[in-house]
Structure 1
């Protein structure tokens, strides 16, 4: 005799079968475990095989705690950062050992089932594999640590309003900004008005079009005495929304220390250049005294002659005095010009870029060396570019280099019996470059000496310090140019000087 199953019981069985079917078909692993410290498996859904490689029967009756990574086993008790608690449910992210021996990242949401007296009966868990998510987040965290530790300034800004949304530690220090309120600054505020309107706007447009921009943009920082430059702008796109730019990342560099070092090096260079000019004038003292003595002697002669004629009763005393005064005035102007050239050359100046005709500078230096050249029977031969190129540079420093090279050419004849004794100076402009040659026809320089010629303190002179040519090369390189020498070792030497004309 078959006993009929009550309809209520049949309904309960049907619901139980439906829930079991859902549990068995779920891609998440559903398990029941004891509330004891070892969390022994009571039951587990078939999804465990896909997640951990075990069959359900292999886990039932085994302690779940034994499979935790040692560093994650106490997450729940210690309320680690990976654990969240909401309305009686715990969510824990941890590493769990796969059957093959490696660890996978799992996320488990668990709830404790209690009896009417509140005593725990079992723990129901729903677990999923979050390995890919955790690895991606770890990569992001590693990247974030790199960004934070970077000595470069890294800033994020919105694409429309260009409000800053993130500053790394280096950017906060350099900008003197509040880390918790990056939006208080906008990107254009970090540049002067012209740069923000032109160069920055162009750079952002290029980044938005090509994905990135590289170059140099000088920043105008709110913190005094600090300097920084933007080196790169990257446009980050939202692939889900028609590839629109989601935000820009800006990579900049604090160049305060570099700028101070450059300024210190420039100051040191100016000091050395000034010392070199003083030494050059000291070496030329005899010639300069002789050159200055000529107009002074002429003034004395004209004065004595006029006085004698007047004493002897000249027929035209007014005319005689007038002619004497004219001659005296001409010689006085000549003496004044000699002193002016000398004072201009030796005065201590800051680095000053200005436009000047290079041919005029060559002529001025040759006049400065006129007496020394005459004393050594030297003849200057000029072959100057007819276009008289205009150079944008520090005139005093360029003249100093020309003077050093021309004096070297004069002195090359000091232990040489050759005649005639020409020092040839030529200037030529070729597109965006100026080429100056200073050539002598003396004995030349040996290959060994040529290799050491621009080394500090190397000199072939008994009284020289060996700093003229090194300082000259430094000056020319500071101006973006080159200075070198060529010689066959027996028939003369040619110094080549190249300077850019593109900024002129």
Structure 2
């Protein structure tokens, strides 16, 4: 009987020693506390030094409640969100003061030990330092708030199913949806079918291979939803713990409605400025244009007077051939006058930006037709060096001719303070490297280096009656077409204006 009891006691001691060994070797802090509000340390394993900085002897007898962060001390009493209860054990996540004075985050699972009458005797706790985890979660929560508050559209998309697993508030609002009533579930619903199969798939593939993709792909908006948006960036997220395969994509888009409206307003203003510039140009050329029209009108008047005299002098039958010939000449001159008026009306007409195909050589010749009288008044000779392949340009014809007119008139005016008797203006066209290049050259006194620096700035002009907007508007027009306009001069032997516009087929 006594031997059996002794064996049992030995087994209990051996088992207790094993549990103590396990407790001493554990990386978690295992502690016993008084079942009082002071939560006094009764016993603790050596892990306390790694976790809290105290030695075992230092912390035993210490009031554990005093080490709680003031905001977390009553978590258990308040049943805070950080407290969870399961099968008689509480798990609490809280801030606790380290020996050095700073706070760390502990996650503690505790159980209250009671006597036979149910009175609490002590509390056993297993605690671990979860500071890194809490900091990471805090950073994630901050990031989540930033993502939710972002004006950009942010969406998460499953790599395989293309299902949208998350949309931020901006994405819901821009797409005309609500979190409670989501109308977009899959990525392909955001795009036209051909765009999804080409541009979007290419973007996803590029992100999968290189990590990120940057670009611009238009999003299909719901009907009657007056918004414009596009995706700008795709980020591929891989599973770094397993097979490094893409798990999901972050898709970042932007509502560009305001930007689009601003661009439309700027375009309208540019068109209006270009129109005003054309009106000013026609006003400046009014004398020459009047002379252009007066010539055919004077010829018509002379032919009419001659025909009337013949009718008065003799029988109509004898004069019929001469009168018929006069009518033909009158018709020709009337057509000439009508063509001048038509060309002028077309030039000053207010129009929207519209690309059409036209022959640039023909436009060069037509523009010179406006300036024949002005050229005659200034003793100007026009020389053409036009590309023999007669290239076609896809652009706004009226605006390109407006640029040509401005440059040719500048070339004519370059001779106003020049004593040279031979005054050529050379117009050149050529097709090279995907661009149609046009040059207008004069042999006047040239432009100084300082003048070249400010040549295209608005409201700067050497003319007494000019506004200084012609070259600035011309540069804007060419840049709108994706081209360049520039000038070259040595300040002595004339000036060459060049502009080039890319050739497009559609």
Alignment of structure 1 residues 426-465 onto 2, 5 Å = 426-465=428-467
What residue is the counterpart of 1:343 in the other structure? Answer: 345
Residue 141 (structure 1) shift: 2.3
More displaced 10-residue stretch of structure 1: 338-347 or 203-212: 203-212
Question: In angstroms, what is the RMSD of aligned CA positions?
Answer: 2.3
What residue is the counterpart of 2:258 in the other structure? Answer: 257
More displaced 10-residue stretch of structure 1: 424-433 or 63-72: 63-72
What residue is the counterpart of 2:321 in the other structure? Answer: 319
More displaced 10-residue stretch of structure 1: 96-105 or 412-421: 96-105
Q: Per-residue CA shift, 1:136-183, capped at 9, x if unaligned?
A: 323322332332233221111112231211112222221122235657
Sort the Cα spacing of 1:101 and 1:503 in 2 relative to 1 into closer, same or farther, 3 A.
Answer: farther
Residue 123 (structure 1) shift: 1.6
What residue is the counterpart of 2:416 in the other structure? Answer: 414
Q: How many residues align?
A: 503
Sort the Cα spacing of 1:387 and 1:77 in 2 relative to 1 into closer, same or farther, 3 A.
Answer: farther
Q: Per-residue CA shift, 1:60-96, capped at 9, x if unaligned?
A: 1101122233443333334333222334422111232
Q: Aligned equivalents of 1:62 and 1:183: distance in 2?
A: 59
Q: Aligned equivalents of 2:449 and 2:154: distance in 1?
A: 52
Q: Is the 8 A contact 2:211 2:235 kept in 1?
A: yes
Alignment of structure 1 residues 210-225 onto 2, 5 Å = 210-222=210-222, 224-225=225-226
Q: Aligned equivalents of 1:18 and 1:413: distance in 2?
A: 109
Q: Aligned equivalents of 1:3 and 1:454: distance in 2?
A: 112
3-state DSSP of counterpart to 1:184: coil
Alignment of structure 1 residues 99-498 onto 2, 5 Å = 99-180=99-180, 184-222=184-222, 224-313=225-314, 316-498=318-500
Q: Aligned equivalents of 1:79 and 1:424: distance in 2?
A: 90
Alignment of structure 1 residues 45-60 onto 2, 5 Å = 45-60=45-60
The TM-score normalised by the length of structure 2 is 0.93
More displaced 10-residue stretch of structure 1: 223-232 or 340-349: 223-232
After TM superposition, the runs of 4+ consecutive aligned structure 1 residues lying more than 6 A away are none
More displaced 10-residue stretch of structure 1: 412-421 or 154-163: 412-421
Q: Is the 8 A contact 1:154 1:167 kept in 2?
A: yes
Q: Aligned equivalents of 2:441 and 2:4: distance in 1?
A: 125
Q: Aligned equivalents of 1:4 and 1:335: distance in 2?
A: 135
Residue 434 (structure 1) shift: 2.6
**Is 1:63–2:49 an aligned residue pair?**
no
Q: Aligned equivalents of 2:3 and 2:310: distance in 1?
A: 165
Q: Is the 8 A contact 2:299 2:330 kept in 1?
A: yes
Q: Is the 8 A contact 2:475 2:484 kept in 1?
A: yes
Question: Which runs of 5 or more residues in structure 1 are unaligned?
Answer: none
Q: Is the 8 A contact 1:274 1:346 kept in 2?
A: yes
3-state DSSP of counterpart to 1:253: strand
Residue 454 (structure 1) shift: 1.8
Residue 443 (structure 1) shift: 2.2
Sort the Cα spacing of 1:92 and 1:199 in 2 relative to 1 into closer, same or farther, 3 A.
Answer: same
Sort the Cα spacing of 1:240 and 1:446 in 2 relative to 1 into closer, same or farther, 3 A.
Answer: closer
3-state DSSP of counterpart to 2:197: helix
Residue 42 (structure 1) shift: 1.2
Q: Is the 8 A contact 2:394 2:504 kept in 1?
A: no
Q: Is the 8 A contact 1:164 1:182 kept in 2?
A: no
Q: Per-residue CA shift, 1:380-426, capped at 9, x if unaligned?
A: 11111222222222111111111111111112222333111111111
Sort the Cα spacing of 1:213 and 1:380 in 2 relative to 1 into closer, same or farther, 3 A.
Answer: same
More displaced 10-residue stretch of structure 1: 304-313 or 7-16: 7-16
